[in-house]
Structure 1
Amino acid sequence: MGTNRALPPPVSMAMCVHSAPGVYALLLGSGISTGAGVLTGWGIMQDLAQRVAALLGQTPEQVALAHEAPDRWWRQHFPDQGPLMYSTLLGELGTTPAARQSLLQEYFTGKEPSAAHRAIAGLVRDGYVRVILTTNFDPLMEDALHAAGVQFQVITGEGASSMRPLAHGLPTVLKLHGDFRQPDMLNTTTELARYGWMWRRRIREVFRDFGLIVCGWSAEWDTALIRCLTGRSHRFPVFWSSFRSPAGRAAELIAQLGALPITDTSADGLFTGLASDVAALERMADLPPTRDMAVHRLKQCLSDPARRVDLHDLLDRHADQTIGRLQDRKRHPDSRLADLGTQAYRAQLDLYRADAETLLYLLATGVFHDRQAEHAHLWVRVLQRLVDARDRLGDDVADKARHYPALLALYAAGCAAVLNGREDVLARLLTGVIWEHPTEWPAHKAGQVLRTFDVLGEGRALEEPVRGVGGTRSAQSSRVRADLREVLGEACAHSDRAFREGFDRLEYLMLLVQADLNRRRPPVRGGTFLALGNGLQGNLVADHKRVAAQVARSMTAGWPMLTAAFDGEARRTGAAAATLAATIKE
């Protein structure tokens, strides 16, 4: 890479990291921890040399020289031992790994993560960094990740032989030289000269497949690591940060790798600046994060109680986008929608489904992983916003179709709740969301409004009902199932059978609640099992009986839906089930 660049390397680095989340790995040396009060290798050597000089009974001037210039002090007193290096002095003082561990322990205890550690942890939490290689013995990077609520794996020692591939596992911290709390640290020149074959394989995998940001590493003593880094092609750029202008082996490596040097900045300044720049780019982006990135962030927020606000912001942002698109389509309607016999109606439903796609994935994934239903109020709130987006209740097909995103959201969240064993959440969605009709009273609940026949009409413009395993499905139910099959892929483990059984149970439970809500209204209708009260054909009647029997076995005093939807009154569930059975005609 050329040296005459118009843009400073930190700008290129921020743009690269933001545009390719997870592609850039970090290589961190001792300089990353100086902001936390941890001495570098040079600093530890200064301190140890000073102590040795004092124990040898040398003059105060010699003790001071040992701290200020330990290499010069060493040459004066031990001229036959060769140049002084960190590993040389440590090897002289501690002849075994356990002894060296004891010598070093005090330098790493009682420290707190620095601003750099915290900024890196934030980048990992947000999906921008997945792999961290460190030569440091301290646990400060791990402490910062724990504080940020990140789930990660630490690989040290023999752990390299059993770790998952980096592209598929958890965010990973590779402690190349060990941990001060374990006796197998690599300190001496001999220990740092060669890695085991598995470590070489893992390190080369990183250098081959990932971009690299180097910070706080002098490259003076780590012979084995240097060999892994050089002599191979790199798919992505290398950024190399050092507080002073790089010299010695570091300068040689920068030239060999064509790395972009970043100087005159501390580790704290580098990573807090990178985190700030990436966040600014995220806010400036015209396009929203990809669906997969949004789902990834959702899972991170769910796993961290401290990120409840972030979770709400994520769902609200995508709800805003969906509603905005819905309102825009209202301002620019397609006049052809009045004709149910054309393809325009199906095309409009396709657009509504596409508008809501990311939000549907967020709801399905969030409800499925919300094992304790801690965020049920959030799922209800999002559905309420989608229901409110249709501002009038009319018979025009275009007006009805504006509830299609809400219908899909109810089915996506509801089926995820069923597959998660949280049918009480389904009940809250059906009964806790209210549609306030502009002219009628009382208000309707979602279970009374978001019905396939009410939103999609009688189906003359929809595809023909799907025939297959489990019977003939109504055109309306078939449409919803087709639109949500991939959305619910994770919740049903990508099993067609699990999806079909979960969806059948969902539709029966929805009809059960509708029968209870409408007990003073005309008979219920809609879904797979009830088609305008006109009865069903043989195998679908059998499906109804099978699902009804399964639900009946759930109707015990401990059934979560009993309290959530029927106020704990078992007689109401029995009456609703009887209504459904009577509506089916064999």
Structure 2
Amino acid sequence: MSTDGVVPVAYAMHASPKRYALLLGAGISVAAGLPTASDVSGNMILAIARGRGEEIERGENNKVCLAWFKDTFGEPATFQRLMRELGISEENRKDGLKKFIYKTDDDRNPLSGIPTEAHRAIARLVKSAMISLIITTNFDTLMEEALKAEKVPYEVITEESDIKQMSVFPDRCRVLKVNGDFERGTLRITPEDLKNYPPAIEDYLRRIFGEYGLVICGWSGIYDTHLSRILCAADIPRRYPVFWSWKNERRVPPEVCQALLPNGINIDSADEFFKTLEVIIERFSRYEPRSTLSATAAMKKVKDALRETKPELFLPDLINEETDRVLAFLADRSRYKTDTIDGKEFYTTILREHEDVAAPLAAMVATVAQYDDDTFTDLVKDTIERLINVPPITLGFVDTKGLLRLRHYPALLVIYASGVVAVRTRHFNTLEAIVRRPMKYQYEGALREKVRYYLDINIWNVIGCCQEWITNITQKRFGTETRYQDYPYLVMYEIMQVLIPNRAVFFESLDIFEYIFGLAYLTGSIEEAIEKGEFCSSTPGPLQSRHLYLRQNLLRYQGHYPIFPLPSHVYIFLADLKQNAEGSTFFEGDLSLFEEANQNYAKGFGINPPKTGLTSRKSLIKSNCL
């Protein structure tokens, strides 16, 4: 095995600790002398046949004995049916299965397996905080024994586990045994068993494959048919690359390779692969310590990655590693503990800490929005989606000043920074990836429901509720003449100054972005009819904007409707929208949706709608009916 082939996966794992999950198959445990699932099911069927006084052949891939079982019992072989025919119950399960699971001596007595070098190297990688999630199709306990030997706490998850255990957050080591655990519950060992997984396991796998890169070893993708289908699903975002170590590339189904486009690594054995991987990662850790980036340095790293011949091999890891750092910060419950929870000083400290941790990531994503040619719109969307779905925490006290809301401040800064730049560069596909594609997940039992994020993540909701404290912070940081509403915008400008040095241009682009953000909210979140002028008396949080509060002193009422013009640069942008955005994915590629929201915004504020040259969806439907 060439050591050079292991360097890319070692570098990726070192650059993004705990963001690569292992997918381990039978090839890991075969070196310990344990049979594969196919061997186990075949051995059980042969034992059933012998018990009936029949001698049958196994056949290639168990085809002969599986056909015999179906002909004899009138149904395909499943683990539960094999157990029943062998007289094995839950009470005597462990003893009854041992002779099929473990290797045996000459008298067919089971011999305990011993963790291989691969198992032990993996356990050490978990201990060194490089890995936190292990998916295995094996039902033996060798991985657990290796973790115990390294004194690593772990949690085993099977289809019988509580849904609350099925987290993708890398806060502990989780061993997901997708085909079951030898010691308890259902095993999936026959082709019939492997056709489907329960909904909770399928949902968990989909979340894992979306959140993590993969390092695959000892798994061919041939027999675990449903697992292969989930892994190859086209609608799962791929935030990180897939590395697949194999002895024979041709054994991997071509449709799997086509869907995943894995980085292949030719190996001689799993033991050698994981030992080499461990050595190279340790070398990187010794000579390449990681450090916190400034916003300017973060932008430079993204620019350097985009100059690479294959930026897709570098940029996702760079962005995802920084996102991991932000999420790890937000998951630290101790940051929100204090004896003076009502103090201005504590709130100020927390606010500035969130800005500091988010600034490099906001700068990175904004740089992608500036220079990308639509290659990385999925990366932008996925980054924002991870931030708006930050795992919840409880504070242990009444959150009177919105500390928990500040946990969405990094998401807000990334959304605004990248959105303002996308407006400035007229990158409409990127704008769609920022304002409309990311979804917030709400859980109903084991399944997720996707909802729009605007009501939770807008400036008014995240920091607008603390007016007195924000006023104090604003005047100390930006001068006594500064309004408290300006605070988040001035913070954003500080982050973005390198990309948009002209202050007037920045704030013009900001006004346009906030208008688009408001229209996205009106398109995705409001179904009922909008009354004329209703937003004047009660303005929803996603429609609160800089230009709105700046012009409030200009409002003049006719009855109860204000004269409320939009800034001229918004009108200019909208006048050219049809020409600039046509053919893009902006508003799902249907600009009539944008126009309908544009008219609803105007109606809600009691103003004339800005001219766009577009036709609303309602007007299109009406004209088609005539």
Give the TM bin, normalised by the shorter chain.
0.3 to 0.5
The structure with the larger Rg is: 1
Scaled by the length of structure 2, what TM-score is found? 0.42
Scaled by the length of structure 1, what TM-score is found? 0.45
